[in-house]
Amino acid sequence: MVARRIHTGLLVAGLTLVCSPAAGSDQDPSAETSYEALRATQEVFHDVVEKVVPFLVRIETVGGSQPTAPLPEDETEEEKPRKRRQHQFQDSLGSDFVVADGPTTGLVYSSDGYIITSSFNFVREPILISGVLPDGRRMAADLVARDQVRKIALLKVEAEGLPTPKWAGVDDVRVGQWAIALGLGLGEQEPSVSVGIISALNRMSGNAIQTDAKLSPANYGGPLCDSSGRIVGLCTPMAQRHGELAGAEMYDSGVGFALYRERIDDIVSVLKHGKSFYRGWLGISVDTRFMEGVIVANVAVPSPTHSADVKVGDRLVSANGSPLRHYGDLMRALYMLPAGEQVNLVIDRGGKEWQASVKLARSDELGSLPEVAEPFDPSLPVPKEEPPQP
């Protein structure tokens, strides 16, 4: 059935591009050659599906709800002097995308029952998780841990001897080659199939492959494959900002991402021990009045930067060797780094540069930002300037 659906879709396109000659008319050799080439391409996609289906897992969940952003703090303390209340550190979803309840996709990682998928599939915090294995067995699955930064999750089912897929190495992937994304998120027995090319490598700070094959919740957590059926990456929503849903709003846009196997192996080696990854914070706020440069406006106590003796008014020159011309550069340098990662900063204080190595912290490891008094009370009238005395 999978092959028939793919064949039909491509055959329609083929007939549009290469019209079949009418009965009794002379055959156009070039048209016949094009048609046969199209048929051969279709068969390649059919073969990929047949090779990869034995490693796909349909993930089903029960319970959970759409996550919401935290409410702002109460700021109606009229009896206190007016203060500039700095934004406190809170992990956000990164998008208002609404996560529907339904089946999602996973991929067998190892024969002893480990399954990898996208952490996107668990932002609803489900109560029960089950996996339907390729052989039809439905088994309870435990969420071992998840990486909320690189967007993958690790599940475990009590099964042995599961078949495992063949992966393409990072050196085997080239821009312009076919990319086939498979997913079980539509709830059917057969996977959905999306075809495109590898459009860029080493995206998202070197963590991901970029593809124009359409990626969406239908195949997040599923594999991106090459034309020989090898897995080149795990499909996840990603964007150049923080948040477990960041990038999901770009689904089916032609800009999608899949994590390399080498990166997945590094992450899974930690997830297997039940250790999740969370967003990493420096523990500072930035003075947005300066369009050029990253000027520290406030430092949380405690925080990594406070421990490194960073002070208000310091200018961050670079992070891990990347120059910081403005706040956007700082975000790009840090958005794919989880808590616990080391960041090497170059800091300018009064024209003298110095270096500091800090370890990013989780939001719950940071103290609050000290309150900073407003330079003036905006509720009072602007004072009149006195004319200069002769």
Domains 1-18+28-65+86-277 and 284-373 share a fold: no
Q: In whole angstroms, give the CA distance from residue 57 to residue 212.
A: 24
> What are the φ and ψ backbone dihedral angles of 268, each rounded to 5 degrees?
-65, -35
Instruction: Read off the pLDDT band of 130 (50, 70, 90).
Output: very high
Whole-number average pLDDT of the chain: 85
284-373: CATH superfamily: PDZ domain (2.30.42.10)
Q: Which range, of 17-31, 34-48, 336-350, averages the lowest pLDDT?
A: 17-31
* Residues 195-208 pLDDT 10s: 999 999 999 999 99
Q: Is the pLDDT of residue 18 over 60?
A: no
Q: For 290-313, what is the mean pLDDT?
A: 93
Q: In whole angstroms, give the CA distance from residue 354 to residue 373.
A: 29
Instruction: Read off the pLDDT band of 373 (50, 70, 90).
Output: low
Q: In whole angstroms, give the CA distance from residue 370 to residue 367.
A: 9
In CATH terms, 1-18+28-65+86-277 corresponds, of 3.40.50.150, 1.10.10.10, 2.40.10.120, 3.20.20.210, to: 2.40.10.120
Per cent of the chain over pLDDT 90 is 65
Tokens representing residue 83 in the block = 């203060």
The pTM of the whole model exceeds 0.75: yes
Q: Is the pLDDT of residue 8 over 80?
A: no
Per cent of the chain over pLDDT 70 is 83
* Residues 214-272 pLDDT 10s: 999 999 999 999 999 999 999 999 998 888 888 889 888 999 999 999 999 999 999 99
Confidence at residue 27, expressed as pLDDT on a 0 to 100 scale: 59
* Residues 62-117 pLDDT 10s: 987 777 655 445 444 444 444 444 447 777 787 878 777 789 999 999 999 999 99
The CB-based long-range contact list for 303-311 (8 Å cut-off, 24+ gap) reads 303/361, 303/366, 303/367, 304/343, 304/358, 304/359, 304/360, 304/361, 305/356, 305/358, 306/367, 307/358, 308/345, 308/356, 308/357, 308/358, 309/356, 310/284, 310/345, 310/347, 310/356, 311/349
One-letter amino acid at 340 equals G
Query: Any idea where the domains of the chain sit in the sequence?
Result: 1-18+28-65+86-277, 284-373
Instruction: Read off the pLDDT band of 384 (50, 70, 90).
Output: low
